[in-house]
Amino acid sequence: MSKIKVFRCRICGDPYIGTKAPTQCPFCGADQRFIIEAKDWNPDEFNVSLSDISRKNLDAALQLELDNAAFYDCAKNAADKAKDHYSIAKFKTLMKVEREHASAISKFLKISAPELEEKMCNANSKANSKEGWQREDRAIKAYAKFRDEAPEPRLKEFFGALVEIETDHLNLHSEDVK
């Protein structure tokens, strides 16, 4: 029997218990290479001296993530009304992941993660997937720009990971937007 270990994600900071690191963080979606054993955790992961440009970009990223999380929450509720169980699961998970991104960004900014505001969406899951695809595409472009502008190596890494994660979300939506 394998020994249970505690792992931690360097992108969101959340812990995970298992016999081995997951292929992706179950909380933020980061690739396995960002998951380390908790005993190796650096408590200063989110203690970064922020440049003005990075602070501005983190503020913009926070708004993007909160907006997308609120949209996915609405899409989940619409799917629930339509009894579309696959879309309920998809949008609920995407909402949680976007909330986790907002939480991680808040750690860099040294603020509490703001609450979600209510957002409008379509009653149709396919239409919401199409809008989700557009939202993820915007996020990828923004985070690639933020990564390139960040003078801090840790933020280059963080925004680079977000580009990868949002690309996974884009690919997930691609199945429904054909």
Among 170, 83, 164, 63, residue whose Cα is nearest residue 125: 83
Chain region(s) in the chain for CATH 1.20.1260.10? 52-177
Chain region(s) in the chain for CATH 2.20.28.10? 5-40
User: Which class is domain 52-177?
Assistant: mainly alpha
Tens-place pLDDT, residues 39-93? 999 999 999 999 999 999 999 999 999 999 999 999 999 999 999 999 999 999 9
Rounded to two decimals, the pTM is 0.95
- Which pLDDT score, from 0 to 100, does residue 2 have? 84
Give the domain 5-40 fold.
Rubrerythrin, domain 2 (2.20.28)
Tens-place pLDDT, residues 98-151? 999 999 999 999 999 899 999 999 999 999 999 999 999 999 999 999 999 999
Beta-ladder partners of 16 = 7
